[in-house]
Amino acid sequence: MKDVKLATRLYVEDELGEEPVLGLGPEQAHFLRSVLRLRPGAQLALFNGRDGEWLARVEALGKGWASLKVETQSRPQEDEPELTVFFAPVKRARIDWIVEKATELGCTRLQPVLTHRTIVDRVNVQRLRTAVREAAEQCERIALPEVADPVKLERMLDDWPDDKPFLFADESGGGRPIHEIVNETGARALLTGPEGGFDEREQAMIARHPAACPVGLGPRILRADTAVIAALSVMQALGGDWAETPKFRNLQPR
């Protein structure tokens, strides 16, 4: 089976397999017809986060509807190495950016964590899950990160196993360089704080957790959203799938 790289990838809720015809709702049909201006016969890739990636063709398009003919599987579903991010919610545009970039970087679970200095009153989890799907469409990912409901910091720490290291972005300057801790522990989880950082009580509470590994992220003060992406990049480069030889998919003309 040849790998095929397509400009159009679409997340669908339906089960995917050989020969079914899928119907799209008004929003996705409008996207194909009016935004991408696809026509019957155009090929695209479909994924649902469970059944791998499948090639399909547009059978018909109308105002507010579309039907797709699923043809062959282009990539099987594969398990991804665990990579969890616990992050304090920030303002809307920034939290969307965190979720989008964490998806591109291979995060498998995103958990908003409420802290004393968290300034966001409500986290729209459904909007974040939409951002995850759109990011996965763009970056050719076929697995979707879980976006969990927000929890308080105390609950997150109580639930986390004592023998499973997690990196704690310590803005107080008490942490060792992140690359040293990643190499020593192989940690696959990260906790970052809100705008303004954790307060002293929270820092002490985190430090008491047996699995907490305080790390530094360089000599400059990073924004809360920048800290997430900077730390994830190091984790993937040293102990994640950035350390593997990339498998590029062949671009075939249409």
Mean per-residue pLDDT for 52-61?
93
pTM: 0.88
Report yes or no: 36 and 27 within 8 Å, Cβ to Cβ. Answer: no
Cα separation, 166 vs 186, whole angstroms: 9
The residues, any chain, with a CB within 8 Å of residue 14's CB and separated by 6 or more, are 20, 22, 48
**Cβ atoms of 139 and 102 closer than 8 Å:** no
Other Cβ atoms closer than 10 A to 92 = 12
The CATH 3.40.1280.10 portion of the chain extends over: 84-243
pLDDT at position 6: 58
Q: What is the pLDDT of residue 59?
A: 92
Q: What is the dihedral of CA 134, 139, 145, 148, to 10 degrees?
A: -40
**Kind and range of the H or E element at 235?**
helix 224-239
Beta strands (DSSP E) in the chain are 9-11, 21-24, 43-47, 53-62, 65-75, 84-87, 109-114, 146-147, 151-152, 166-169, 176-177, 189-192, 212-216
The CATH architecture assigned to 84-243 reads 3-Layer(aba) Sandwich (3.40)
Listed in order, the ranges of the chain carrying CATH 2.40.240.20 are 9-75
What rounded mean pLDDT belongs to the chain?
90
Kindly report the number of other CB atoms within 10 A of residue 139's CB atom: 14
Give the domain 9-75 fold: Ribosomal Protein L25; Chain P (2.40.240)
Task: Enter the tokens of residue 52.
Answer: 């791998």
The 10s digit of each residue's pLDDT in 146-186 is 999 999 999 999 999 999 999 999 887 778 999 999 999 99
In Å, how far from its chain's centre is CA 61?
Answer: 31
